[in-house]
Amino acid sequence: MPHGEHSFLFSSLDSKQPNTARKVHIRRLFDVLHLCIQRHDWPRARRAWAILARCKEVDWTTMWRTSLLLLGEGDATTDSNETDGDKVGFLTVMMRQFPEERESILKELVLHLIHSGQHRRALEELDLYLPSYPYQDNPVLHVYAGLMALYLAQPASASELSEETTYGQGWDASRLRNAQAHFERARLMDPSNVVAEAFLNQLSGTARAQAATSRYTPDSDEDEEEKMEVDGAQQARKRVRA
């Protein structure tokens, strides 16, 4: 290796070769961080990240995904729900402080809200941002919104849900329409989106089935004809008696 040059395992921070001992140390520490992450050595990874985040040469806000990854990982004393809650809090703060990455942060926030069981809040967050640019043109966010609307459209009773095989009685029709609108928007922007296509097919199939059952069936037509014949015979008998 030529004099004055250093080799590093991971490229990041700055593509330029470090020209001071401090910058070399930071790059080495960055290598240690990512090696520990790959080996799932979370305590050492967190210690390395804690040092890096305090260095003025490191813009930790652009590496928010690293902070999110390390938050709660490998801590046996913390359950998954508590970890998701910590991550939701962290992402909520990042949404306000780092608007340049808000679109990407919103995706992560919605996922962790879902993991923590906060489905209604997940949909509320999406409804807040989806009407505006650039969120309205993001098919992934529309799929998330469609899934949340569909989830919240379910009947409140678990027994009622288990008896219903289609989106029929007991389901919230308004939320179903909302879900369909989001899936259609996602498909419009990304025709290859298989999730949106699958749920749209299911929703449209259910709508057709409900429309068909709302019409007269052949049996009901026959019953109606029999009723008309009986009424006609009764009227004829009344005229004969008169």
pLDDT of residue 165: 46
**Coil, strand, or helix at residue 89?**
helix
What are the b/e assignments for 81-90, b being 16+ CB within 10 Å? eebbbbbbeb
Residue 96 structure tokens: 């306000």
pLDDT tens sequence across 189-198: 999 999 999 9
Helix, strand, coil: what percent of the chain each, to 5?
A: 70, 0, 30
pLDDT tens sequence across 123-149: 999 999 999 999 999 999 999 999 999
pLDDT tens sequence across 19-49: 678 888 888 888 889 899 989 899 999 999 9
Cα 123 from Cα 110, distance rounded (Å): 8
pLDDT of residue 139: 94
**Higher per-residue pLDDT: 18 or 101:** 101
Report whether 57 contacts 12 (CB < 8 A).
no
- Count how many residues are written for the chain: 242
What are the b/e assignments for 160-192, b being 16+ CB within 10 Å? eeeeeeebeeebbeebbebbbebbebbbeebee
Instruction: Write the CA distances from 179 to 1, 6, 33, integer angstroms.
Output: 59, 54, 42
Q: How confident is the model at residue 159 (pLDDT cuts 50, 70, 90)?
A: very low
